[in-house]
Chain A
Amino acid sequence: GENVEQHPSTLSVQEGDSAVIKCTYSDSASNYFPWYKQELGKRPQLIIDIRSNVGEKKDQRIAVTLNKTAKHFSLHITETQPEDSAVYFCAAGYSTLTFGKGTMLLVSP
């Protein structure tokens, strides 16, 4: 089955800095790669996703890149704000998803 590794497990940045979270996956059949944001006590919510026929996707301050050859994908958040503080999960798959263990992002004012 699919195996997703996510790094780092925690990330502290200053407001305005950029944050990068990286994930690797094992199953070359995976073709859908979403990123979820989960605030404390809340449900995971999709923030951006990318499919295997696309190498990069951007939505305002967040972007995701995908390297299918190397089987890794990354989340980039620019101009971070305190409200970006949360746990971020990457996932890989198609109909079913395998999630990474999460990255706790802390943005300090």
Chain B
Amino acid sequence: DAGVIQSPRHEVTEMGQEVTLRCKPISGHNSLFWYRQTMMRGLELLIYFNNNVPIDDSGMPEDRFSAKMPNASFSTLKIQPSEPRDSAVYFCASSLIGGPLDNNEQFFGPGTRLTVL
């Protein structure tokens, strides 16, 4: 397995523009997480999906952020409109929760470094 795949790896955009980050979880995993990492706030959970359903979105900063998971192999995180304070590294992670192979371990993707000018 190629692991969790994220695209793009780097994104530079101007304030006010729409940004879409993409994630492909590990095949067979049923849970997907979006995190944001900054020096000031550390690693923050934005949203958690289980079986493609959003379970916990309490970490989503505001209405400018939205996330979808249309199927088990794809998720997007969208920021519209983007602001300079959204600059961060965004990680996607996946895991298998429940069932005989359940072990909770979250596998992280390589991240998307977002810079909003």
Write the residues of chain A forming the contact surface with B, with a CB cutoff of 8 angstroms.
1, 32, 34, 42-46, 49, 89, 94-102
Contacts and interface: CB of A to CB of B under 8 A. Distances in A.
Interface string B87-111: 0000100000100000011111111
A60 B45 CA distance: 31
Could you tell me the dominant secondary structure of chain B's interface residues?
strand
Contacts, number: 43
B12 interface: no
A89 B48 contact: no
Interface of B: 31, 33, 42-45, 48, 50, 55-56, 58, 91, 97, 104-111
A95 B108 contact: no
* CB-CB nearest 6 A-B residue pairs: A43-B108, A99-B43, A101-B42, A32-B104, A44-B108, A96-B48
Contact of A95 (B104, B107, B109, B111): B104
A94 to B, nearest CB: 7
A46 B105 contact: yes
Given A43-B111, A102-B42, A95 B50 contact: yes
B56 A89 contact: no
B75 to A, nearest CB: 16
